[in-house]
Chain A
Amino acid sequence: MPLRSYTQLASSILGHFRLATLCRILPCPILLSGLSLGLFIPFTPLAAEVEPSSTEAPINHEAPISSGLQALLNFDFSGAYSELREHHENLSPSDPLWPEAAYAYAQAAWHRSPPNNNTIRRAREVLEEVAIQAEGTPLGAAALLDIGRILEVADNRDDQPDPEQAERYYRRVLEEYAGSRMAQRAALYLAQVKVQSLEEARVREALNILQQTEDVDRFPEWAAVMTYYAAHLSYFYLDDADTALAYFERARQLGFANQATADRKLWQFAQIARKTGRSNWADKWLQQLLNEYPNSIYGWAARQQLGASPDSETLTSAQDRP
């Protein structure tokens, strides 16, 4: 339809407006748009002014690496990858910025979405370099743990996991960094790789690793995680209630890693204790649940099991007057 037909159509809709009238007021919006631009432009912040670059000036890597790290800490893996990729590749390993920049770049390459085998492979290469360059430091150990994890799991359909090789990396940290927090982490990773097989012998191996590595005096928070995990494995994988309950009692004394789920853990192991005839344990843990988590959703059920009379008014009374 030619432009004139549209104008005629609009004119007929507007009724008493003649075409000529419409044409007269049409410039108004254009004029007003121009006015708006004129009004707003002075208040619109300008983009950061950029100094003309000099070919001789050294490239400043610090600012973009810092920005990339910040993006990574904000869980913006793709943003971090874009920022860090170029600047990391241009840094020399002797540069003091290199270890952290390389490690951060590897994390971004590993975790950016969607998972890409090429970038994950590159992440692994960079982590290998970090493990060498930062050997003997927590960063070097962390790089080895990450390589183990990359090998252990499949990041996408084409990625073939290699748990045996993953175990070797975890064991390296366990041995080369013995007595450190990184070794504690390595023990947990190593144990859980073994449990993935669901074989009884391998689960028992996992329990042995946890037992041998646990260091309550130096790393009580890690010992608590290990002990709780051992309780979980003993009951749900080995059907060994006695050992499980003993481990759980120890974990309870050490304090749970995630306090938000403490009431659920107390309830769960109290149920295991009741089911297996250890009511003294059960009562103790249910009592703790009631004392320390009075608003827990398990409070009512705990009171029922302890034989304490729940608030019968709120439960079964037919009428609750406001």
Chain B
Amino acid sequence: MKIAGKTISPAWISAVLLFIAYLFSTGRALLISCSTGDHSMFSDGRIIRVAHWQLEPGYREGLQWAIDQYNQLPRVREAGITVEQIPVTERVYPQFLNVHLIAGTAPDIAVAAGSFTGGADAARFFAALGEFVNSPNPYNDPATLAAAIGEESGIALDLDGSLSNTPWRSTFADNLETGFNSQLNDYYAIPVSTWGAVRIFYNLELLATGKRFALEAAQSESEPQWLRQLWQTPENPASGFLLRNQANLSWLENFRQPPETLGQLILFCEALQAYAAASGQSTLVPISGSNYVSSDMTIIYRTPFLSGFHEDSVFFTGTGLNSLEIIDAFSRGIWNFEKPAVREYFKLGQQLSSYYPTGFLGLDREQALRRFVLGQAAIMAAGGWDASSVYAGVRSRDNPADQFEVAVRKYPLPAPGERWSEYLNARTNEATASGGVSFSIYKQTKSLDWTLDFLKFLTAQPINRRFNAEAGWLPVTSGAEPVEHMKPFVPMMEGIPEGWSLRPRYVTGALSFAWTQNLKRFFSGKSNYDEMAQAISDEFLHELRGVFGLWQSEFQRARDRSRARDRFTSIERLRVLRTGDEAAIDRELSLMEATLTSDEGVDLRNAWSRLYPDTPFLKPPVAK
């Protein structure tokens, strides 16, 4: 190769390129090493690293805004403190954190995830925050915050001062329940956002298209078969979904109005499906379903349908349902697949999943989102955490003509008299959709004071409001008003507790597999109801792997939990003996209370003795 008249060997070019790459990577490694190490080549500064996996559009930018504000505080600059975020993809985040926790190099602040978040591991790796959360957050005091950030920051400091003297714990919308570890009876995390509940997104362009098509069909002299079968009539009382009345016909005329009832939702889905077939758009579907739980609309309706067996199934009055109670109740005939509520739930699920794309079980969260954003689905169910992705995705369509308006609504319930109205007469409580992105403080951090200070800053009312507005999330601090487009995602604290529903979780592998796989096969049309019911029943009642096996494994787990509680109790008692630590006394009392009522699985043995008085514990009951 000739350059400027001189012949240069390609080998030398390779060597030069290699050397440049080397210099770059060495320089970068050196910079990182110097800035995060104990000794700094360039400044006396200390870096507080904040790790999380929220890579949704806007979240990093929102958090960075708050970090920049904090880094600019005069007292922070004087102390040479710099906060940095480390966003890590969700797929590798648990491994990333596990490795660094074990190696002693974990970020100062991190969303706890992976293997070391429960039980003793939480206490081993993360700082207990109980002693800090009962005093007020100084940044909630208008004078303190104004003095700290100065007027030039441009942050609206419309703090009314009502939180000035409120304990930090009580300034969270969920009273900091998200950060509370009931096993350790202490606070181990500080949420900085609210997850937001699952809501239904509508593409208003496709909504209008589908409704126009349905209206034309309804006004034609001879209604097409797809429409006729939807109306509840005296001849069709069991299989119709809604009445052919003025209210429903008027609704069809308002093209931009999303479904108000479950019957209207089904009517719209059928109309769009018929429209897609008529116009040859094979990729257009009514609902963008996938294997991602939040996008499965069937699940939204599960609790109201399947919570009616709760009172008869629990072993102890007034508790939620656990998996053993659910499957044991099945073995005792309290519920089965012949019960109308169960059968009807699966019928609704089958109906809704027939509007999902073919092969939806092979699609993931991203694919569901993409389909909706590309205008290939009219409806998508998603949580508040995905809202910014939806809005950003729609806005970023290259061709402005492809952009569309989005409406967000709660899931519709049937109107009185509509099909399933006798089962769906209340919503599900969404309390679990509260505090999100809960940051824990690494126990070995060298800057506990500053990490706490940063979290207090981040959760001060005006900062939390602005940060979440920038991120496109819901704030977590009481009184912090969410931005307009996020208001529909505020969780409803009214409704049936999710824990009353038939939802076997954390069961042995065989039972879990039997439940989830057979449900998936049914909803994807690969098996019929009877086949699904038979397959699940066979497994639930299997001599070894079934309910009897579950009693054994739950008993073993109860004993393991007792051992774990013994460890916690010993350490808390040691703390009490050494220092008389008040918080440790509270934790020990709480552990003792839990130990007493369930120690060594005594509660399970007690339940067994009442359910099967003639059968020794863990001997298979004789079939009656």
* A278-319 contact mask (Cβ, 8 Å, vs B): 1 or 0: 000000000000000011111111000000001100111111
Q: A236-B316, A322-B488 are in contact. Are A260 and B182 (CB under 8 A)?
A: yes
A24 within 8 A of B: yes
Do B182 and A28 have beta carbons less than 8 Å apart?
Answer: no
Query: How many Å lie between the Cα of A94 and that of B525 in the bound state?
Result: 77
Interface locus among B173-181, B211-219, B371-379: B173-181
Q: Which residues of B contact A222 (CB under 8 A)?
A: 589
Chain A interface bracket (under 10, 10 to 19, 20 to 34, 35 or more):
35 or more
B38 interface residue per 8 A CB criterion = yes
What sequence of 0s and 1s flags, for each residue 197-234 of chain A, a beta carbon within 8 Å of any chain B beta carbon?
Answer: 01000000000000000000000011011001100100
Question: Distance (Å) between the CB of B189 and the closest chain A CB?
Answer: 13
Cβ-defined contact, B487 with A322, below 8 A: yes
User: B596 touching A188 by the CB < 8 A rule?
Assistant: yes
Q: Does B66 contact A (CB under 8 A)?
A: no
Does A167 sit at the interface, judged by CB under 8 A?
A: no
> Which chain B residue lies CB-closest to A155?
B563
Report whether B19 and A28 are in contact in the complex, using a CB–CB cutoff of 8 Å.
yes
B317 contacts chain A at the CB level, 8 A cutoff: yes
Docked pose: A314 CA to B34 CA in angstroms:
55
What residues on B are CB-neighbors of A139 within 8 Å? 577
Q: For A297, give its contact among B413, B431, B603 (CB under 8 Å).
A: B431
> What is the distance, in angstroms, from A224's C-beta to the closest C-beta of chain B?
8
Chain A residues near B570: list those with CB within 8 A.
Answer: 107, 110-111, 146
Q: Are B185 and A260 in contact (CB under 8 A)?
A: yes
Complex Cα gap A109–B529 (Å) = 55
| Interfacial residues of chain A within 1-55, with CB under 8 A of chain B in the complex | 16-17, 21-22, 24-25, 28-29, 32, 35-36, 39-40, 43, 45
Give the docked Cα–Cα distance between A28 and B12 (Å).
Answer: 11
Cβ of B205 under 8 Å from chain A: no
- How far does the Cβ of B421 sit from chain A's closest Cβ, in whole Å? 9
- Within A230-267, which residues are at the interface with B (CB < 8 Å)? 232, 236-237, 256-258, 260-261, 264, 267
Residue A76 is within 8 A (CB to CB) of chain B in the complex: yes
Residues in chain A near residue B575, CB distance under 8 A? 73
Please, which residues of chain B bring their CB within 8 A of the CB of A45?
37-39
Chain B residue at smallest Cβ distance from A263: B177
A295 pairs with B175, CB closer than 8 A? yes
Given contacts A32-B22, A74-B124, A301-B496, contact A138 B577 (CB under 8 A): yes
Name the segment of B53-61, B323-331, B358-366, B404-412 touching the other chain: B404-412
How many residues on the B side are at the interface (Cβ–Cβ under 8 A)? Answer: 89
Which residues of chain B are within 8 angstroms of A16 by Cβ–Cβ distance? 10
Interface check A269, CB cutoff 8 A: yes
Q: Is there an interface contact between A228 and B574, defined as CB atoms closer than 8 Å?
A: no
Contact A188 B41 (CB under 8 A): no
Closest to A313 in B: B494
Question: Is the pair A322, B409 in contact by a Cβ cutoff of 8 Å?
Answer: yes
Render A95-109 as a binary contact track against B, CB cut-off 8 A, 1 for contact: 000001001100100
Docked-complex contact A104 and B412, CB < 8 angstroms? no
Does B108 lie at the interface of the complex (its beta carbon under 8 Å from any beta carbon of A)? no
In the bound complex, do residue A196 and residue B577 qualify as a contact, i.e. CB atoms below 8 Å apart?
Answer: no
Q: How far is the CB of B136 from chain A (nearest CB, A)?
A: 19
CB pair A318 B415 closer than 8 Å: yes
B318-A272 in contact (CB<8A) = yes
B103 to chain A, nearest CB (A): 14
B34 proximity list for chain A (CB < 8 A): 43
Listed by A's residue number, 5 A-B pairs whose Cβ atoms lie within 8 Å are A21-B11, A229-B597, A268-B316, A268-B318, A295-B493
Further pairs besides A32-B18, A295-B173: 11, Cβ < 8 Å: A25-B15, A74-B443, A185-B592, A188-B596, A236-B316, A258-B182, A258-B594, A267-B318, A268-B317, A272-B317, A319-B412
Which residues from chain B sit less than 8 Å from chain A, CB to CB?
9-11, 14-15, 18-19, 22, 26, 29-30, 33-34, 37-39, 41, 120-121, 123-124, 173-175, 177, 180, 182, 185, 260-261, 316-319, 408-410, 412-415, 425-427, 429, 431-432, 434, 443, 487-488, 492-499, 559, 562-563, 566-568, 570-571, 573-575, 577-578, 585-586, 589-590, 592-597, 599-600, 602-603, 605-606, 609
